[in-house]
Amino acid sequence: MTEEELLEKGYRKYTGEEIDVYFNTHVCQHSGNCVRGNGEIFNLERKPWILPDNASKDEVKRVIDTCPSGALHYIEKEGVSK
């Protein structure tokens, strides 16, 4: 999905340096895979609760790939190297 499509569907954007994360609370099934997967990136007791820069881009992708509902998506930024 493109960013436009995600935002249109009600996803909220959490901007990172190398990767942006998108979350839709209405799609979330509250499995907890995200917070259990990496509490540095996903922490419900913090605002914003998603901080994509608190781990490597690969780690962000790894955890989001475990989300069973599709409530989490990511889009990698092009042309960013580090």
Residue 14, H or E segment:
strand 12-14
Stretch that binds ligand SF4, among 9-17, 27-35, 45-53, 73-81 (CB under 6 A): 27-35
DSSP result, 20-80: EEEE-TTT-----HHHHH-TTTB-TTSSSSB-GGGS-HHHHHHHHTT-SSS-EEEEEPTT-
Exactly one of 21, 41, 60, 71 binds ligand SF4 (CB under 6 A); that residue is 71
Establish if 67 lies at the interface with ligand SF4 (CB under 6 A). Answer: yes
Establish if 62 lies at the interface with ligand SF4 (CB under 6 A). Answer: no
Exactly one of 3, 10, 12, 29 binds ligand SF4 (CB under 6 A); that residue is 29
Residues that bind ligand SF4 (CB under 6 A): 28-34, 67-69, 71-72
